[in-house]
Amino acid sequence: MRTVNKVIIIGNITRDPIIKTTEGGNKLALFTIATNRYYKTSAGEEKSEAEFHSCIAWGGLADRIEKFLTKGKLVYVEGRLKTRVIEKDDGDKLYKTEVVAMNLIFLNKKGETSDESKEEIEIDPSSAGVDDDNMF
């Protein structure tokens, strides 16, 4: 049976992306997207809760993110979840779950217009040539 690992997020960039290059020469972009969940309590009080999603993009998509993505931009990101295990110096393991972005679309907020916001950025995962298990 086939399985599915797909994530779609629409939210705001929390800070300017961090751009890195691996020892193998592959470019990557690290960024965080904030989303909000709105709900009512049992007492009828309206509340919101922020969630922060760590994202990573590779290759050509990382190039475009470096050029256009800045703090506060509203974006649509489509990708997959990837959990990395990071072993700390003391032997403890840290688990980090990230969204590996494969498609990114700049969105406009009300009253905002710009040419780059209409641009859709997509990367073909088979052409990325990146083993994200060994990215650092």
Q: Does residue 114 carry a pLDDT above 60? A: no
In tens, the pLDDT along 34-92 reads: 999 999 999 999 999 999 999 999 999 999 999 999 999 999 999 999 999 999 999 89
CA distances from 35 to 13, 48, 50 (A): 9, 10, 6
The domain covering 7-38+47-127 belongs, at the CATH homologous superfamily level, to Nucleic acid-binding proteins (2.40.50.140)
Helix (H) or strand (E) holding 66: helix 59-68
Give the CA angle between residues 18, 14, 26 to the nearest 5°.
Answer: 20
pTM over 0.85: no
* Spatial contact of 66 and 114, defined as CB atoms under 8 Å apart: no
Q: List the domain boundaries for the chain.
A: 7-38+47-127
* Spatial contact of 120 and 133, defined as CB atoms under 8 Å apart: no
